Amino acid sequence: MGSLKLPDEFTLVEVGEGIHAWLAPNGSWGMSNAGLIFDGKESMIVDTMFDLPLTRSMLDSMATVVPEIRSNVDILLNTHANGDHCHGNELVPTNRIIASAETAAEMGELPPSALYAMVESFRGDVSALGRYIQYAFGSFDFSNITMRMPTETFTKEMSVAVGDLDIKLFQVGPAHTKGDVIAYVPAHGVVFTGDILFFQETPIMWAGPVDNWIAACDLIESFNAVTVPGHGPITDNSGVRDMRNYWIMLRDQAKERFESGMSILEAANDIDLGPYINWGGPERVFLNVNSLYKEFGSNQIAGDVMSLFMEMGAIWDSRCEEKDLPVS
Protein backbone atom coordinates (compact mmCIF):
# COMPACT_ATOMS: atom_id res chain seq x y z
CA MET A 1 0.00 0.00 0.00
CA GLY A 2 1.09 3.55 -0.56
CA SER A 3 1.17 6.22 2.05
CA LEU A 4 -2.06 7.73 3.25
CA LYS A 5 -2.71 11.35 4.03
CA LEU A 6 -3.55 12.42 7.55
CA PRO A 7 -7.21 13.00 8.43
CA ASP A 8 -8.61 16.47 9.22
CA GLU A 9 -9.31 15.43 12.81
CA PHE A 10 -8.39 12.53 15.08
CA THR A 11 -9.73 9.43 13.29
CA LEU A 12 -9.86 5.68 13.82
CA VAL A 13 -8.76 3.78 10.71
CA GLU A 14 -8.84 0.01 10.14
CA VAL A 15 -5.36 -1.14 9.12
CA GLY A 16 -5.80 -4.93 9.32
CA GLU A 17 -8.38 -7.49 10.39
CA GLY A 18 -9.46 -6.32 13.87
CA ILE A 19 -6.63 -3.80 13.97
CA HIS A 20 -7.16 -0.05 14.09
CA ALA A 21 -4.90 2.97 14.14
CA TRP A 22 -5.92 6.15 15.93
CA LEU A 23 -4.43 8.89 13.79
CA ALA A 24 -3.74 12.46 14.82
CA PRO A 25 -4.53 15.18 12.27
CA ASN A 26 -0.91 16.29 12.20
CA GLY A 27 2.28 14.76 13.50
CA SER A 28 3.80 17.70 15.33
CA TRP A 29 4.61 18.04 19.06
CA GLY A 30 2.33 15.81 21.13
CA MET A 31 0.10 14.87 18.18
CA SER A 32 0.68 11.14 18.42
CA ASN A 33 -0.89 8.02 16.93
CA ALA A 34 -2.06 4.97 18.85
CA GLY A 35 -3.48 1.52 18.10
CA LEU A 36 -6.12 -1.06 18.97
CA ILE A 37 -5.70 -4.79 18.38
CA PHE A 38 -8.69 -7.10 18.89
CA ASP A 39 -8.98 -10.77 18.00
CA GLY A 40 -12.70 -11.13 18.76
CA LYS A 41 -12.11 -11.96 22.42
CA GLU A 42 -9.17 -10.03 23.80
CA SER A 43 -7.82 -6.53 23.23
CA MET A 44 -4.61 -4.59 23.36
CA ILE A 45 -4.18 -0.83 23.13
CA VAL A 46 -0.88 0.57 21.93
CA ASP A 47 -0.18 3.89 23.69
CA THR A 48 -2.41 6.59 25.14
CA MET A 49 -2.51 10.33 24.40
CA PHE A 50 -0.78 13.44 25.76
CA ASP A 51 -3.71 14.50 27.93
CA LEU A 52 -6.90 13.09 29.40
CA PRO A 53 -9.43 14.76 27.05
CA LEU A 54 -7.60 13.40 23.99
CA THR A 55 -7.35 9.94 25.58
CA ARG A 56 -11.08 10.00 26.38
CA SER A 57 -11.98 10.73 22.78
CA MET A 58 -9.62 8.00 21.61
CA LEU A 59 -11.25 5.45 23.92
CA ASP A 60 -14.76 6.58 22.95
CA SER A 61 -13.93 6.14 19.29
CA MET A 62 -12.29 2.74 19.84
CA ALA A 63 -15.37 1.60 21.82
CA THR A 64 -17.55 2.18 18.76
CA VAL A 65 -15.74 -0.71 17.04
CA VAL A 66 -14.91 -2.80 20.14
CA PRO A 67 -17.48 -2.04 22.87
CA GLU A 68 -15.73 -4.51 25.23
CA ILE A 69 -12.94 -2.00 25.87
CA ARG A 70 -15.30 0.21 27.89
CA SER A 71 -15.05 -2.26 30.76
CA ASN A 72 -11.85 -4.16 30.08
CA VAL A 73 -8.69 -3.85 28.01
CA ASP A 74 -6.54 -6.97 28.35
CA ILE A 75 -3.21 -5.26 27.67
CA LEU A 76 -2.00 -1.67 27.37
CA LEU A 77 1.42 -1.29 25.78
CA ASN A 78 3.45 1.89 26.13
CA THR A 79 5.98 2.05 23.29
CA HIS A 80 8.12 4.58 25.18
CA ALA A 81 8.15 7.10 28.01
CA ASN A 82 7.25 10.38 26.28
CA GLY A 83 4.02 11.79 27.73
CA ASP A 84 2.24 11.87 24.37
CA HIS A 85 2.26 8.06 24.50
CA CYS A 86 1.43 7.41 28.16
CA HIS A 87 -0.18 10.38 29.95
CA GLY A 88 -3.65 8.87 29.47
CA ASN A 89 -2.83 5.47 31.00
CA GLU A 90 -5.06 6.07 34.03
CA LEU A 91 -8.18 6.08 31.81
CA VAL A 92 -7.64 2.61 30.34
CA PRO A 93 -9.52 -0.12 32.27
CA THR A 94 -6.73 -2.67 32.45
CA ASN A 95 -4.69 -4.59 34.98
CA ARG A 96 -1.81 -5.17 32.64
CA ILE A 97 0.43 -2.35 31.34
CA ILE A 98 3.54 -3.52 29.51
CA ALA A 99 6.66 -1.49 28.68
CA SER A 100 10.38 -2.09 28.45
CA ALA A 101 12.20 -1.85 31.77
CA GLU A 102 14.06 1.26 30.55
CA THR A 103 10.79 2.92 29.55
CA ALA A 104 9.22 2.20 32.92
CA ALA A 105 12.22 3.79 34.64
CA GLU A 106 12.18 6.83 32.32
CA MET A 107 8.46 7.42 32.80
CA GLY A 108 9.03 8.75 36.29
CA GLU A 109 11.56 11.36 35.18
CA LEU A 110 9.22 14.12 33.95
CA PRO A 111 5.91 14.14 35.83
CA PRO A 112 2.92 15.69 34.01
CA SER A 113 2.73 18.28 36.80
CA ALA A 114 6.19 19.55 35.83
CA LEU A 115 5.10 19.92 32.21
CA TYR A 116 1.97 21.72 33.39
CA ALA A 117 4.03 24.14 35.48
CA MET A 118 6.44 24.77 32.60
CA VAL A 119 3.69 25.58 30.09
CA GLU A 120 1.91 27.83 32.58
CA SER A 121 5.14 29.70 33.32
CA PHE A 122 5.42 30.65 29.64
CA ARG A 123 1.83 31.81 29.12
CA GLY A 124 1.92 35.27 27.62
CA ASP A 125 5.70 35.13 27.19
CA VAL A 126 6.38 36.63 23.76
CA SER A 127 10.05 35.63 23.52
CA ALA A 128 10.94 33.08 20.84
CA LEU A 129 11.24 30.43 23.55
CA GLY A 130 7.92 31.38 25.13
CA ARG A 131 6.09 31.28 21.82
CA TYR A 132 7.77 28.02 20.83
CA ILE A 133 6.73 26.34 24.09
CA GLN A 134 3.15 27.56 23.53
CA TYR A 135 3.23 26.36 19.93
CA ALA A 136 4.51 22.91 20.97
CA PHE A 137 2.58 22.30 24.20
CA GLY A 138 0.11 25.14 24.80
CA SER A 139 -2.94 23.38 23.36
CA PHE A 140 -2.78 20.36 25.70
CA ASP A 141 -4.29 20.06 29.16
CA PHE A 142 -1.66 18.72 31.56
CA SER A 143 -3.71 19.38 34.69
CA ASN A 144 -4.81 16.61 37.03
CA ILE A 145 -2.98 13.76 35.32
CA THR A 146 -2.03 10.88 37.60
CA MET A 147 0.70 8.90 35.94
CA ARG A 148 -0.16 5.20 35.91
CA MET A 149 3.00 3.14 35.54
CA PRO A 150 3.62 -0.17 33.76
CA THR A 151 2.80 -3.30 35.73
CA GLU A 152 5.07 -5.56 33.74
CA THR A 153 8.40 -4.96 32.03
CA PHE A 154 10.74 -6.81 29.70
CA THR A 155 14.03 -6.34 27.90
CA LYS A 156 14.91 -7.16 24.28
CA GLU A 157 11.96 -9.27 23.07
CA MET A 158 8.65 -10.54 24.31
CA SER A 159 5.72 -12.38 22.74
CA VAL A 160 2.28 -11.61 24.10
CA ALA A 161 -0.98 -13.33 23.29
CA VAL A 162 -4.03 -11.20 22.54
CA GLY A 163 -6.58 -14.00 22.40
CA ASP A 164 -5.28 -16.21 19.61
CA LEU A 165 -3.09 -13.49 18.14
CA ASP A 166 0.64 -13.53 18.73
CA ILE A 167 2.11 -10.04 19.15
CA LYS A 168 5.87 -9.64 18.93
CA LEU A 169 7.38 -6.85 21.00
CA PHE A 170 10.92 -5.75 20.21
CA GLN A 171 12.89 -3.34 22.31
CA VAL A 172 14.89 -1.42 19.73
CA GLY A 173 15.97 1.50 21.93
CA PRO A 174 17.73 3.35 23.28
CA ALA A 175 17.19 5.47 20.18
CA HIS A 176 14.35 8.03 20.27
CA THR A 177 14.13 7.48 24.05
CA LYS A 178 15.87 5.10 26.45
CA GLY A 179 13.63 2.09 25.93
CA ASP A 180 11.71 2.26 22.62
CA VAL A 181 9.55 -0.74 21.73
CA ILE A 182 7.79 -1.66 18.50
CA ALA A 183 4.78 -4.01 18.30
CA TYR A 184 4.44 -6.33 15.30
CA VAL A 185 1.37 -8.40 14.45
CA PRO A 186 2.70 -11.05 12.03
CA ALA A 187 -0.69 -12.67 11.33
CA HIS A 188 -2.02 -9.44 9.85
CA GLY A 189 1.16 -7.77 8.65
CA VAL A 190 0.85 -4.64 10.77
CA VAL A 191 3.49 -2.91 12.87
CA PHE A 192 3.10 -0.10 15.41
CA THR A 193 6.47 1.61 15.58
CA GLY A 194 5.96 4.19 18.32
CA ASP A 195 8.33 7.10 17.72
CA ILE A 196 10.93 5.01 15.94
CA LEU A 197 9.03 6.19 12.93
CA PHE A 198 8.05 9.76 12.27
CA PHE A 199 6.61 9.99 8.78
CA GLN A 200 6.86 13.30 6.94
CA GLU A 201 7.82 14.78 10.30
CA THR A 202 11.29 15.48 11.62
CA PRO A 203 12.15 12.83 14.22
CA ILE A 204 13.62 13.66 17.62
CA MET A 205 16.57 11.76 19.03
CA TRP A 206 16.45 12.32 22.78
CA ALA A 207 18.61 9.30 23.57
CA GLY A 208 20.49 7.69 20.66
CA PRO A 209 22.74 6.15 19.55
CA VAL A 210 21.76 6.79 15.96
CA ASP A 211 22.96 3.36 14.84
CA ASN A 212 20.30 1.74 17.06
CA TRP A 213 17.70 3.83 15.27
CA ILE A 214 19.03 2.81 11.85
CA ALA A 215 19.06 -0.87 12.92
CA ALA A 216 15.47 -0.50 14.13
CA CYS A 217 14.49 0.79 10.68
CA ASP A 218 16.14 -2.29 9.13
CA LEU A 219 14.13 -4.55 11.46
CA ILE A 220 10.86 -2.79 10.63
CA GLU A 221 11.62 -2.96 6.91
CA SER A 222 12.13 -6.74 7.19
CA PHE A 223 8.47 -7.09 8.23
CA ASN A 224 7.26 -5.47 4.99
CA ALA A 225 4.12 -4.54 6.91
CA VAL A 226 1.47 -1.85 7.04
CA THR A 227 3.34 0.60 9.23
CA VAL A 228 1.74 2.89 11.80
CA PRO A 229 4.26 5.55 12.85
CA GLY A 230 4.20 7.35 16.19
CA HIS A 231 3.64 10.62 14.33
CA GLY A 232 2.41 11.16 10.78
CA PRO A 233 0.33 9.15 8.32
CA ILE A 234 0.28 5.40 7.85
CA THR A 235 2.99 4.20 5.52
CA ASP A 236 4.88 1.15 4.28
CA ASN A 237 8.54 0.40 3.68
CA SER A 238 8.95 3.62 1.70
CA GLY A 239 8.36 5.58 4.91
CA VAL A 240 10.73 3.30 6.82
CA ARG A 241 13.45 3.92 4.25
CA ASP A 242 12.86 7.68 4.46
CA MET A 243 13.47 7.54 8.21
CA ARG A 244 16.64 5.53 7.84
CA ASN A 245 17.93 7.79 5.08
CA TYR A 246 17.27 10.90 7.18
CA TRP A 247 19.47 9.51 9.95
CA ILE A 248 22.26 8.40 7.63
CA MET A 249 22.22 11.82 5.96
CA LEU A 250 22.22 13.69 9.27
CA ARG A 251 24.82 11.46 10.93
CA ASP A 252 27.25 11.81 8.02
CA GLN A 253 26.77 15.57 7.59
CA ALA A 254 27.04 16.19 11.33
CA LYS A 255 30.21 14.09 11.53
CA GLU A 256 31.94 16.13 8.82
CA ARG A 257 31.07 19.36 10.57
CA PHE A 258 32.11 18.05 13.98
CA GLU A 259 35.47 17.05 12.55
CA SER A 260 35.94 20.44 10.90
CA GLY A 261 35.37 22.17 14.26
CA MET A 262 31.92 23.65 13.75
CA SER A 263 29.75 24.30 16.80
CA ILE A 264 26.44 22.49 17.16
CA LEU A 265 24.52 25.60 16.15
CA GLU A 266 26.78 26.25 13.17
CA ALA A 267 26.37 22.65 12.05
CA ALA A 268 22.59 22.71 12.54
CA ASN A 269 22.35 25.84 10.41
CA ASP A 270 24.82 24.64 7.79
CA ILE A 271 23.51 21.12 7.16
CA ASP A 272 21.64 20.73 3.89
CA LEU A 273 18.46 18.91 4.86
CA GLY A 274 17.63 18.26 1.22
CA PRO A 275 14.08 16.95 0.81
CA TYR A 276 13.67 16.67 4.59
CA ILE A 277 13.46 20.46 4.93
CA ASN A 278 9.80 20.03 3.99
CA TRP A 279 9.05 17.73 6.91
CA GLY A 280 7.27 19.27 9.91
CA GLY A 281 9.52 20.57 12.69
CA PRO A 282 12.81 21.07 10.77
CA GLU A 283 14.12 23.11 13.74
CA ARG A 284 14.54 19.80 15.58
CA VAL A 285 17.75 19.46 13.58
CA PHE A 286 19.42 21.33 16.47
CA LEU A 287 18.37 18.74 19.04
CA ASN A 288 19.38 15.90 16.72
CA VAL A 289 22.80 17.39 15.92
CA ASN A 290 23.28 17.95 19.67
CA SER A 291 22.60 14.23 20.28
CA LEU A 292 24.95 13.25 17.45
CA TYR A 293 27.71 15.55 18.75
CA LYS A 294 27.32 13.85 22.13
CA GLU A 295 27.93 10.49 20.43
CA PHE A 296 30.98 11.94 18.69
CA GLY A 297 32.43 12.96 22.06
CA SER A 298 31.90 16.73 21.82
CA ASN A 299 32.38 18.72 25.02
CA GLN A 300 29.89 21.48 24.07
CA ILE A 301 26.63 19.55 24.50
CA ALA A 302 23.49 21.37 25.61
CA GLY A 303 22.65 19.20 28.57
CA ASP A 304 19.27 20.41 29.74
CA VAL A 305 15.99 20.29 27.87
CA MET A 306 15.27 24.02 28.27
CA SER A 307 18.43 25.06 26.44
CA LEU A 308 17.50 22.66 23.64
CA PHE A 309 14.08 24.29 23.40
CA MET A 310 15.68 27.72 23.44
CA GLU A 311 17.86 26.88 20.43
CA MET A 312 15.02 25.14 18.57
CA GLY A 313 12.75 28.07 19.36
CA ALA A 314 15.29 30.50 17.89
CA ILE A 315 15.57 28.48 14.65
CA TRP A 316 11.78 28.07 14.49
CA ASP A 317 11.38 31.81 15.07
CA SER A 318 13.73 32.69 12.23
CA ARG A 319 12.74 30.05 9.68
CA CYS A 320 9.50 28.32 10.46
CA GLU A 321 7.20 30.66 12.27
CA GLU A 322 5.08 31.82 9.38
CA LYS A 323 4.34 28.30 8.30
CA ASP A 324 3.78 26.81 11.73
CA LEU A 325 2.15 29.44 13.85
CA PRO A 326 -1.63 28.88 13.60
CA VAL A 327 -1.91 28.61 17.37
CA SER A 328 -4.57 30.29 19.43
Minimum distance, C-beta of residue 31 to Zn ion, in the bound complex (Å): 8
Residues 104 and 154 sit within 8 Å (Cβ to Cβ): no
Sign of the four-CA dihedral 49, 51, 57, 59: positive
Single out the segment in contact with Zn ion by CB under 5 A; choices: 8-16, 191-199, 214-222, 267-275.
Answer: 191-199
Residue 107 DSSP SS3: helix
Minimum distance, C-beta of residue 232 to Zn ion, in the bound complex (Å): 10
Single out the segment in contact with Zn ion by CB under 5 A; choices: 31-39, 87-95, 208-216, 297-305.
Answer: 31-39
How many residues make contact with Zn ion (CB under 5 A)? 5
| Beta-carbon contacts of residue 311 (< 8 Å; ≥ 6 apart) | 264, 265, 268, 286, 287, 290, 302
Single out the segment in contact with Zn ion by CB under 5 A; choices: 69-77, 145-153, 229-237, 267-275.
Answer: 229-237
Q: Binding to Zn ion by residue 180, rule CB under 5 A?
A: no
Would you say 114 or 161 has its CB closer to Zn ion?
114
Would you say 29 or 122 has its CB closer to Zn ion?
29
| Beta-carbon contacts of residue 135 (< 8 Å; ≥ 6 apart) | 29, 316, 324, 325, 327
Distance (Å, rounded) from C-alpha 53 to C-alpha 257?
Answer: 44
Distance (Å, rounded) from C-alpha 189 to C-alpha 224?
Answer: 7
Distance (Å, rounded) from C-alpha 13 to C-alpha 22?
Answer: 6
Residues 243 and 221 sit within 8 Å (Cβ to Cβ): no
Single out the segment in contact with Zn ion by CB under 5 A; choices: 44-52, 224-232, 250-258, 304-312.
Answer: 224-232
Residues 22 and 60 sit within 8 Å (Cβ to Cβ): no
Residues in the chain: 328
Residue 42 DSSP SS3: coil
The only residue of 28, 32, 79, 291 in contact with Zn ion, by rule CB under 5 A: 32
Minimum distance, C-beta of residue 39 to Zn ion, in the bound complex (Å): 27
Site for Zn ion in 53-112 (CB under 5 A): 82, 84
Would you say 24 or 165 has its CB closer to Zn ion?
24
Would you say 31 or 69 has its CB closer to Zn ion?
31
Would you say 258 or 279 has its CB closer to Zn ion?
279
The only residue of 51, 106, 195, 221 in contact with Zn ion, by rule CB under 5 A: 195
Minimum distance, C-beta of residue 305 to Zn ion, in the bound complex (Å): 15
Give the interface with Zn ion as residue ranges (CB under 5 A). Answer: 32, 82, 84, 195, 230
